[in-house]
């Protein structure tokens, strides 16, 4: 399995920590681009974002440019794409499916209070305090700083579910309001759709190659006693027996600086 793919899958799981809409309830009324920093307890992620009222493009920063994945959110068509430029491939996810938190926001009761006016990162903003409670007892609360156009310049939220607590902070800098190129929110030509099921099946097949099993004959030498096995030359480095997840975590640390 490609380590880049493993890293993207791990990254996708991070954005599901908070309920959908918790990080940004307001919908911007203008188009803009900005530098974005997102932080949780485990990771710091830097991105360049392009935003319209119905579409978003998130380009991860750090590491080699060819390795940086891209996420495109299309709220107009309820789909999210993850682009892998170095692989010329993309994954597709239906928004609102697979994550119950994306479907239950109508069950949340929001209490939002205006705290005052401020200037943050060169933008005039209103600071809000938000406390939200769902019908099943989940809670989140915190502060957000939004412009009159609905741009969330900063959010700092704490989400609680049972004994679990998760904190997430996002902040925008270098905000530039203006029309965005519609092609930024489309799948580039030449990209092929990534088949997760096929990839997993292929990876498992490769892991099982050469090992005795159902309907698979053992390769010559597979049952050789340990003492008869050929010695490994000292010049050959030891195999890296870390899991793909461990390797992906190392890769993500290099990408994000954590």
User: In this predicted structure, what is the pLDDT of residue 202?
Assistant: 52
Residue 91 is assigned to a structural domain of this protein: yes
User: Rounded to whole angstroms, what are the CA distances from 216 to 84, 198, 205, 211, 249?
Assistant: 35, 20, 11, 8, 34
Range of the domain at 23: 3-108+168-196
Number of domains in the chain: 1
CATH of the domain at 100: 2.50.20
Would the pTM of this model clear 0.75, i.e. be above it?
no
Residue 182 is assigned to a structural domain of this protein: yes
User: In this predicted structure, what is the pLDDT of residue 96?
Assistant: 67
**Blockwise average pLDDT, block size 10, the chain, 258 residues:** 46 45 68 94 90 95 69 93 92 72 61 94 95 81 94 91 85 97 96 72 50 45 45 48 48 42
Structure tokens at 238: 């030891």
User: Rounded to whole angstroms, what are the CA distances from 165 to 17, 101, 128?
Assistant: 10, 15, 21
Residue 62 is assigned to a structural domain of this protein: yes
Residue 82 is assigned to a structural domain of this protein: yes
Residue 149 is assigned to a structural domain of this protein: no
């Amino acid at each position: 399995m490609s380590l880049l793919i493993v890293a993207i899958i791990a990254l996708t799981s991070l954005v599901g920590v908070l309920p959908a809409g918790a990080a940004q309830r307001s919908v911007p009324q203008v188009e803009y681009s900005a530098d974005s920093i997102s932080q949780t307890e485990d990771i710091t992620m830097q991105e360049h974002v392009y935003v319209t009222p119905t579409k978003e493009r998130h380009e991860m920063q750090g590491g080699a440019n060819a390795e940086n994945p891209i996420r495109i959110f299309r709220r107009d068509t309820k789909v999210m794409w993850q682009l892998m430029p170095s692989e010329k491939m993309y994954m597709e996810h239906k928004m609102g499916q697979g994550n119950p938190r994306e479907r239950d926001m109508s069950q949340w009761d929001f209490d939002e209070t205006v705290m005052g006016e401020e200037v943050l990162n060169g933008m005039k903003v209103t600071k809000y305090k938000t406390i939200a409670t769902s019908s099943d007892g989940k809670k989140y609360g915190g502060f957000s700083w939004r412009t009159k156009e609905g741009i969330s310049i900063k959010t700092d939220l704490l989400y609680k579910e049972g004994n679990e607590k998760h904190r997430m902070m996002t902040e925008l800098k270098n905000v530039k309001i203006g029309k965005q190129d519609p092609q930024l929110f489309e799948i580039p030509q030449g990209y092929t759709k990534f088949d997760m099921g096929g990839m997993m099946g292929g990876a498992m097949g490769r892991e099982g190659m050469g090992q005795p099993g159902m309907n698979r004959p053992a390769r010559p030498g597979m049952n050789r006693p340990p003492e008869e096995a050929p010695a490994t030359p000292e010049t050959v480095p030891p195999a890296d027996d870390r899991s793909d997840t461990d390797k992906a975590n190392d890769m993500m640390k290099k990408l994000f600086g954590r």
